[in-house]
Amino acid sequence: MVPCVPPSVNPRALKQPHFKPFYVRCTGPLCYHRGVIGWYSSRAPHIFRFPTDLLLGFAALVLIPLLTTSPGCRQTLPQASPTKDTPDAANNPYASPPYIELHLPRGGVGDTLTMFRGNATHTLTGVGTVPRSPRLLWKMETTAIREGPYERRGVDPNMLWRGLGWTGQPARLGDRYYFGSPGSHVYCLEASTGDVVWEYAAGHCVKGSVTVDGDRLFFGSRDNHLHCLDRNTGALVWKTKTGNDMDSSPAVIGDRIYVGGEDGSIYCFERETGRVMWRTPTAGSCESSPCVVDGKVYAGSSRGYLYCLAADDGHIIWRFQTGDDTDSSPVYVEGRLYLGCESGAFFCLDADSGKLLWKIKALKGIWATPAVVDGRVYIGSADGYMRCLAAEDGALIWKRHYPARIWSSAVVVDGCVLFGVRNGKLECLRAEDGQPLWTFNDNFDIIATPCVAGGQIVIGSQNGLVYCIGESEGPVDPRWFTLHLPARAP
């Protein structure tokens, strides 16, 4: 089990580098670590700041046991606020004394995943645990719209847009999910029930993933606007018109928003106002979601290039020719970039220079964004294969074939690999060797990316339904699930 976000933590602050793992040794009800005193209660461990002065510390040892006899005191103790000397962290309510483990992964905490692939480097694909004995907790149906004749973008006018599209990974913050739908609405749902808290109607499809940053929510749409909503109410804060639609998902860094546009541009917007700070033309449209790290912005384009731009002013540092439409979003790990393109080629590049380090070729195209975890790369492709490669040199570790294309980006967490297949299946494999654990049967078409957070999995299909999967305490329902290997012991 993993901890929830403490209410005192500002979600925007979770991206700051001073949030790192640390451990607290408890010798009884009191815990002490670098000027922080805390105590463990039966409800959850509470941490609060206290001066390190010896005399006050001695007074605390005398007074705190007396105060804990009051139930009201336990509920109102303040938590430590993030400072240079006392990093804040999510407390683990399931840890038993004498140890309390405090850990804040960058971009996601227990039940928190705020953007496509978790952070601006696209390295946090999911958080928490994956059900081994799954059951369907709830499902909801999105609105649906038809393409219509007025769009004239080469799409059948009778095309029905609904459910979750590509990339379509829901965000989760606390007990709420946030996602956009090709049916033109953005939703906020209760995590436990799937009940709609609010919904916002955009002017057309929302195919990409939304980004939650503090009290704001950002997304692009086929109505040719970047939208900013109030996360709590769904009210429009601002929207900025662009030259075409946006399948790219925004990366928010400080007061800036980086996102690609299908008008052949990579944009930087001001977070508070939506003002365009800079715009860099690209060869073809940019559906790739920008990866932002070390003052650089990386994103692909439809005419076969990966761009490296300066984050401050958007000037081109280098560009690498992939040779085909590059919808896949780059992933940055230890100075390297990993991405694929629609020719089926998959690349590993040096992030500073754009130099090719290694390359493999699938039989058909790659639309998915890779997951790079523990020295391995997991990538699906239109030839129906999910491949696991060595991140160092691209050597094949294992592969598994399916009778349909894979556009969904794999989520790798808790020893599992989860992804959708276009025959309407959500597959869960063992990450170590690719052995199937279970299959969820939607039997329509899944191109979206699952959100794994808080012990749940939320995935949308192009049939208009969004599903939430959790752990079952009883037998697996064969109408929805096929169990391939025995569930692990609790």
| Helix, strand, coil percentages, rounded to 5, for the chain | 5, 40, 55
Can you list the alpha helix ranges (DSSP code H) found in 280-366?
none
pLDDT value at residue 150? 72
The band of 449, judged by pLDDT with boundaries at 50, 70 and 90, is very high
Report DSSP state, residue 24: E
What count of other Cβ atoms lies within 10 Å of the Cβ of residue 5?
18
Torsion angle (degrees, nearest 10) of CA 422, 427, 432, 437: -150
More confident residue, 30 or 179: 179
pLDDT value at residue 409? 98
pLDDT value at residue 464? 97
- Residue 184's φ and ψ, nearest 5 degrees, are 90, -5
pLDDT value at residue 65? 39
Answer whether residue 260 shows pLDDT above 60: yes
User: Per mean pLDDT, which range of 62-66, 107-111, 186-190 is the poorest?
Assistant: 62-66
Instruction: Number of helices (H) and strands (E) in the chain: give both, helices first.
Output: 2, 40
- pLDDT, one tens digit per residue, over 454-468 is 999 999 999 999 999
Q: How far apart are CA 333 and CA 312, in angstroms?
A: 22
- The mean pLDDT of 331-336, rounded to a whole number, is 98
The band of 109, judged by pLDDT with boundaries at 50, 70 and 90, is low
Residue 233: both structure tokens together: 């109410």
- The mean pLDDT of 325-331, rounded to a whole number, is 97
- Domains in the chain, start-ordered, CATH in brackets? 11-102 (no CATH), 134-483 (2.130.10.10)
The band of 31, judged by pLDDT with boundaries at 50, 70 and 90, is very low
Question: In the chain, what percentage of residues exceed pLDDT 70?
Answer: 77
CA–CA distance from 164 to each of 169, 226, 383, 468 (Å)?
8, 18, 22, 13
Q: How far apart are CA 17 and CA 386, in angstroms?
A: 33
- Residue 14's φ and ψ, nearest 5 degrees, are -65, -20
Answer whether residue 312 shows pLDDT above 60: yes
The residue to which tokens 């990993």 are assigned: 338
- The mean pLDDT of 416-421, rounded to a whole number, is 98
Q: How far apart are CA 413 and CA 128, in angstroms?
A: 7
Question: In the chain, what percentage of residues exceed pLDDT 90?
Answer: 72
Report DSSP state, residue 312: T
Answer whether residue 33 shows pLDDT above 70: no
Per DSSP, which regions of 118-224 are E strands?
Answer: 134-141, 145-146, 160-161, 171-173, 176-180, 185-190, 196-201, 211-213, 216-220
pLDDT value at residue 155? 83
Residue 164: both structure tokens together: 């979750």
The band of 19, judged by pLDDT with boundaries at 50, 70 and 90, is very low
Q: How far apart are CA 199 and CA 206, in angstroms?
A: 13
Q: How far apart are CA 225 and CA 262, in angstroms?
A: 11
What count of other Cβ atoms lies within 10 Å of the Cβ of residue 132?
21
- The mean pLDDT of 196-220, rounded to a whole number, is 97
Q: In the chain, what is the greatest distance between 2 CA atoms, to the nearest angstrom? A: 77
What count of other Cβ atoms lies within 10 Å of the Cβ of residue 189?
24
Q: How far apart are CA 75 and CA 43, in angstroms?
A: 9
The band of 62, judged by pLDDT with boundaries at 50, 70 and 90, is very low
pLDDT value at residue 291? 98
Answer whether residue 340 shows pLDDT above 90: yes
Amino acid code (one letter) for 217: L
pLDDT value at residue 320? 98
Residue 476: both structure tokens together: 């697996």
C-alpha 459 chain-centroid distance: 12
pLDDT value at residue 367? 97
pLDDT value at residue 3? 32
- Residue 223's φ and ψ, nearest 5 degrees, are -85, 10
pLDDT value at residue 61? 42
**For all residues of the chain together, what is the average pLDDT?**
82
Answer whether residue 270 shows pLDDT above 60: yes
- The mean pLDDT of 393-413, rounded to a whole number, is 97
**Sequence-separated (6 or more) residues with CB below 8 Å from residue 378:** 370, 371, 372, 386, 387, 388, 389, 410, 412, 417, 431
pLDDT value at residue 154? 79
- The mean pLDDT of 186-207, rounded to a whole number, is 97
Answer whether residue 53 shows pLDDT above 90: no
User: Per mean pLDDT, which range of 54-68, 167-181, 260-274, 445-459 is the poorest?
Assistant: 54-68
Answer whether residue 49 shows pLDDT above 90: no
- The mean pLDDT of 277-281, rounded to a whole number, is 98
Answer whether residue 85 shows pLDDT above 60: no
pTM over 0.95: no
- The mean pLDDT of 385-414, rounded to a whole number, is 98
pLDDT value at residue 220? 97
Answer whether residue 439 shows pLDDT above 70: yes
pLDDT value at residue 37? 36
Residue 481: both structure tokens together: 């699930």
Contact 121, 291 (CB under 8 A): yes
